[in-house]
Amino acid sequence: MPHAARFALALALLCAAGCGGGGGGGSSAPAAPAAPAAPAAPAVEVVNVSGVDAVVTIPAHASRIDVNVSGSGNTVTVAAGNTVRTLTVSGVSCTVSVVSGATVEAINVTGAQTLVRYPAALAPAITVSGVGSSAVPVSGG
């Protein structure tokens, strides 16, 4: 390959790699710094409990969780160490207990004859629209 062709190829490869040559023999301005990346939203894991007459304890999770309880006659305990973003209960005759040491940001109950107990020290947003259902604070968790 002739020297001029080799030089042109090398120059093209360098510029393609981001040298920013500016098209002329002068020096180019430094590249603008990249905008900082937005912080990643905290991960939220979804935990679903369904079935009939299930007895389930949700162990502590490292990330925030959304808990969805459906089905009939299920008994669910949210263990200490959990941070629950939303606890949704749409089942029938379910009992959900949030123990002391766990936190809950919001409780939504749409199921019938369902009871949700949570530590009295918490102040979650609560919506209850199920027939015969309730969300009650409990001292001592």
Banded pLDDT at 11 (limits 50, 70, 90): low
75-114 pLDDT, tens digit per residue, is: 999 999 999 999 999 999 999 999 999 999 999 999 899 9
- Note whether residue 116 is domain-resident: yes
> Domain residues for 98?
44-130
- Note whether residue 27 is domain-resident: no
31: closest CA among 40, 22, 41? 22
Q: How many domains does the chain have?
A: 1
- pLDDT for res 29: 55
Instruction: Give the separation between CA 111 and CA 90, rounded to whole angstroms.
Output: 4
Question: Between 126 and 5, where is the model more confident?
Answer: 126
Its pTM surpasses 0.85: no
- Note whether residue 138 is domain-resident: no
- Note whether residue 31 is domain-resident: no
- Note whether residue 125 is domain-resident: yes
14-53 pLDDT, tens digit per residue, is: 555 554 444 445 445 555 666 666 666 668 999 999 999 9
- Note whether residue 38 is domain-resident: no
pLDDT of 1 > 70? The answer is no
Question: Between 130 and 81, where is the model more confident?
Answer: 81
For residue 57, give every residue at least 6 positions away whose Cβ sits within 8 Å of its Cβ, in sequence order, or none. Answer: 76, 77, 79
Instruction: Give the separation between CA 24 and CA 94, rounded to whole angstroms.
Output: 75
- Note whether residue 103 is domain-resident: yes
Lookup: tokens for 100: 């002391």
Q: What is the mean pLDDT of residues 118-140?
A: 94
- Note whether residue 15 is domain-resident: no
